[in-house]
A and B are shown apart, each in its own frame.
Chain A
Amino acid sequence: MPLKVTHLTKIYGSQKAVDNISFTINKGEIVGFLGPNGAGKSTTMKIATGYLPATSGSVLVSNLDVAEQPISVKKIIGYLPEHNPLYLDMFVHEYLNFIGKVYKIPSGLLKQRVNEVIEMCGLHLEQNKMIGSLSKGYRQRVGLAQALIHNPEVLILDEPTSGLDPNQIVDIRKLIKEVSKDKTVIFSTHIMQEVQALCDRVIVINRGKIAADDQLKNLTGKKQNTHVIVVEFKEKVLTDDLLSIAGVTKIVVDGNQFRIFSEAATDIRPELLRFATEKGFSLLSLKQEENSMEEIFRSLTSEVIA
């Protein structure tokens, strides 16, 4: 079992940052660790990498306890910390060499391995530059290359795409997807699209507790018991008239737009069109709202607060 967290609790002073969480991640899985800021994602990752100790509970990486055998665990983990700290005055090549040596990669293999990760992370044009002179996107690649240099079994990435522009985000995601083929990956984010783009499985964490732990498709399916249709008419329409349409359960007025709720089983769109033509209204727009990760995230993380 690459990663097994059992009853993990971390208390800072009087604040419970992580509150008795347990989960297991199987070999080859890409798991998204989702939660609002301050939910305990980074703390959990810091404990798993041996940087911080747990107040109670344990983390096993490949059946090794992080608290008992920190050095052996650190050897099989690749870790990209939040904000991606780097030695800005080192050259890309020099830096990767240094990290490789820290992992005790034999010097005969090191040169080849450095070139491999440089190629893998698309750094070949930048490899002789100083890290401080690289753009944020390339620095992130260097951070990722650093985490991959010793070919770790488990890859832990803490907000790998934060602060990047949309193109860079897509690039980094592609890269993560690529390098993670034969690895177990856990990464944290508070961007929902990221999870949809990358993961098989999501763990939603809120206020130090696990709010959901499921396959992505189950999670999107689970919440889908109501449909929401957003419509806009040219003319003034009374909500009571709309409510009289069969299948409509609730209406929320949002400026000129109406958000019409209905049972998931019935599609009310044909009814709506008929309604508009019968009454002589001109329909400006009609669209079905996707039950997106964003909403799932909001409903999961606010449920706990309520």
Chain B
Amino acid sequence: MIRIFAKEFNSYLNSLIAYLVIGVFLTGIGLLLWVFPETSVLDYGFADMETLFSMGPYVFIFLIPAITMKSFAEEKKLGTMELLLTKPLTDFDIVLGKFLASFLLVLVALLPTLIYYFSISRLGNPVGNIDTPGVIGSYIGLSLLAFVFCAIGIFASSLTANQIVSFILAAFLCFIFYTGFDSLATLSSASALMIKQFGILYHYEALSKGLVDSRDVIYFLSVAGLMLLGAKTVIGSRQW
């Protein structure tokens, strides 16, 4: 597993993908947080990082599928899948290695935004006047959201040999999981809460409040687990 992880992560670093992802994410979030008047924290007047945590998921909906789309699709197209599968590796080693590599890349992209936290807390009046527990909770929430999106991306990539199909499918699934269930809940009033709880947004917002509830964490982990299991099953389906 660790071999696949290292190889995948290296291939991100050796290609443009890693730098593009980090660059686009930071530029996008930076512009939203500091420059664009509607969302700029400077114009807003309150020392919080709401913009990062409300816009971040939308950036991830496009960025993460772009990271994960090649993970299996390209291997299938090149035929290297056969190479990997005839090596002494289990299917789960391969899925998990690829998944963790993409997740680590997202975390690396997320890391520099800690500077924003520092800047905003310095800009507060009095200095340091920021809801730190809320920010920590939101970071945990955003990381878990990226965790789920990566798993969805890996699953979508395992389904096809075409990277574009994989990208569109992953972006669509991420979108459905993020806001789809929430919107669906507005259609039926009877079981609205239950439907809402199927979506990511409900749990993500709960974490943003700074209250890390094990139920929310378990939700994220189980959705990701389900997606990875799906990917493993698809890879193993050649054996049927």
Write the residues of chain A forming the contact surface with B, with a CB cutoff of 8 angstroms. 46, 49-53, 71-72, 74-75, 77, 79, 81, 83, 85-90, 94, 98-99, 101-104, 146
Task: Tell me if A79 and B3 are in contact (CB < 8 A).
Answer: no
CB pair B80 A85 closer than 8 Å: yes
User: Distance (Å) between the CB of B240 and the closest chain A CB?
Assistant: 8
Docked-complex contact A98 and B86, CB < 8 angstroms: no
CB-based contact A83/B79 at 8 Å: yes
Q: Is the CB–CB distance between A103 and B238 below 8 Å?
A: no
Near A by CB (< 8 A), chain B positions 184-240 give 238-240
Cβ–Cβ < 8 Å partners of A88 in chain B = 78
Interface size bracket, B side: 20 to 34
Q: Complex Cα distance A99/B14, Å?
A: 18
Tell me if A51 and B80 are in contact (CB < 8 A). no
| Cα–Cα distance between A215 and B238 once the two chains are bound (Å) | 35
Alpha-carbon distance between A72 and B7 when the two chains are bound, in angstroms: 23
CA A135 – CA B79 in complex, angstroms? 18
- Residue B90 at the chain A interface, CB threshold 8 Å: yes
Q: Please pick, from A75, A85, A98, the residue contacting B79 in the complex, using a CB distance under 8 A.
A: A85
> B residues engaging A (CB < 8 A)?
3-4, 6-7, 10-11, 14-15, 78-83, 85-90, 238-240
The answer on a CB contact under 8 Å between A85 and B82 is yes
> A102 touching B78 by the CB < 8 A rule?
no
A52 contacts across to B, CB distance below 8 A: 238-239
Closest to B79 in A: A85
Once the chains bind, are A51 and B82 in contact (CB under 8 Å)?
yes
Q: Of A81, A94, A101, A104, which one neighbours B83 at CB under 8 angstroms?
A: A81
Q: How many angstroms from the CA of A51 to the CA of B14 in the assembled complex?
A: 29
**Interchain CB contact under 8 A, B238 and A51:** yes
**A86-B88 contact, Cβ under 8 Å, with A53-B239, A98-B3, A101-B3:** no
Partner of A86, one of B80, B238, B240: B80
The complex places the Cα of A79 from the Cα of B88 at a distance, in Å, of: 12
**Other contacts beyond A71-B89, A89-B14: 7, CB < 8 A:** A51-B86, A74-B86, A85-B81, A86-B83, A89-B15, A98-B7, A101-B6
For B85, the chain A residues whose CB sits under 8 A away are 50-51
Complex contacts, B90 vs chain A, CB 8 Å: 71
Cα-based distance from A52 to B238 in the complex (angstroms): 7
- C-alpha gap A85/B87 in the complex (Å): 13
8 A-B pairs with CB atoms under 8 Å apart are A71-B88, A74-B88, A81-B79, A85-B81, A85-B82, A86-B80, A101-B6, A103-B87
**Is B87 in contact with A74, judged by CB distance below 8 angstroms?**
yes
Q: Which residues of B contact A46 (CB under 8 A)?
A: 82
Distance between Cα atoms of A65 and B90 in the complex (Å): 16
Q: Which residues on the B side are within 8 Å of A85 (C-beta)?
A: 78-83
Please, which residues of chain A bring their CB within 8 A of the CB of B6?
A: 101
Contact status of A50 and B82, CB under 8 A, knowing A89-B11, A98-B3, A98-B7? no
How near does chain A come to B143, taking the closest CB pair, in angstroms?
Answer: 28
Q: Which of A53, A75, A87 contacts B80 (CB 8 A)?
A: A87
Report the Cα distance A85→B86, complex, angstroms: 12
What residues of B have a CB within 8 angstroms of the CB of A72 in the complex? 88
Closest to A71 in B: B88
Residues of B within 8 A of A79 (CB): 86
Closest to A79 in B: B86
Closest Cβ neighbor of A45 among chain B residues:
B86
Residues of A within 8 A of B81 (CB): 85
Residue of B nearest to A158 (CB): B82
- A51, A71, A102: the one contacting B3 at CB < 8 Å is A102
Q: Which B residues are in CB contact (< 8 Å) with A81?
A: 79, 82-83, 86
Cβ distance B12 to chain A, nearest Cβ, rounded Å: 11
Determine the chain A residues whose CB is within 8 A of the CB of B240 once the complex forms. 53
B15: nearest chain-A partner, CB-CB: A89
Q: How far is the CA of A90 from the CA of B80 in the complex (A)?
A: 13
Q: In the complex the two chains form, is B11's CB within 8 Å of A75's CB?
A: no
Shortest distance from the beta carbon of A46 to any chain B beta carbon, whole Å: 8
Which among B7, B79, B81, B86 has the highest number of chain A CB atoms within 10 Å? B86
Nearest to B77 among chain A residues (CB) is A85
Given contacts A83-B79, A85-B78, A98-B7, contact A49 B86 (CB under 8 A): yes
